[in-house]
């Protein structure tokens, strides 16, 4: 029959170690009386003696309080950051303007699919890339768009690029 592991409170350990140190009883006698292995009592005694100086350490409590105050401050800062990030995510997830965020690119992909991709068969990846490049150039630099007053997107959004192209042609 196996014994379950027992946990001893700090008070019990302290009491047994003090009895050992006072010399009231020998180590083996104390171990037998309390049904504890002598080695365990030796380890408790070593630990007790190693940490004895902490009983008279005034700075320890001050350091613990200081550390606790720092941790509370840090925790408050993290909570503030989490709240801020949660609000930002909430705004982005709000259903009100989600469709408007990518309407331009969605519209472009729709035009691309119906005007180029579905109509063409590409033999390889290089050919597909070249065709897509031509479509993008035509879409931005040659084709007029009703939504921007029948102007080319390059005239409205990329005037510097048109200027560079004119300089290169001259």
Report the C-alpha gap between 108 and 132 in whole angstroms: 12
Check residues 68 and 59 and name the one with the higher pLDDT: 68
**How would DSSP label each residue in 103-153?**
HHHHHHHHHHIIIIITT---SSHHHHHHHHHHHHHIIIII--BGGGTSB-H
Which pLDDT tens digit goes with each residue over 7-54?
888 898 999 999 999 988 888 999 899 889 999 999 999 998 888 877
Cβ proximity of 13 and 40 under 8 Å: no
pTM of the model: 0.39
């Amino acid at each position: 029959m196996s014994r379950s592991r027992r946990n001893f409170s700090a008070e019990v350990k302290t009491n047994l170690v003090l009895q050992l140190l006072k010399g009231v009883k020998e180590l083996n006698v104390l171990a037998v009386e309390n049904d504890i292995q002598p080695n365990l009592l030796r380890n408790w005694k070593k630990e007790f003696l190693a940490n004895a100086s902490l009983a008279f350490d005034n700075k320890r409590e001050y350091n613990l309080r200081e550390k606790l105050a720092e941790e509370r401050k840090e925790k408050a800062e993290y909570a503030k950051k989490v709240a801020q990030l949660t609000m930002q995510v909430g705004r982005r997830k709000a259903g009100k303007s989600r469709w408007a965020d990518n309407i331009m690119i969605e519209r472009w992909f729709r035009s691309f699919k119906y005007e180029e991709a579905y109509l063409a068969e590409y033999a390889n990846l290089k050919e597909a890339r070249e065709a897509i490049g031509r479509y993008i150039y035509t879409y931005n630099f040659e084709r007029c768009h009703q939504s921007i007053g029948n102007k080319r997107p390059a005239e409205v959004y990329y005037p510097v690029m048109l200027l560079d192209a004119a300089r290169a042609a001259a």
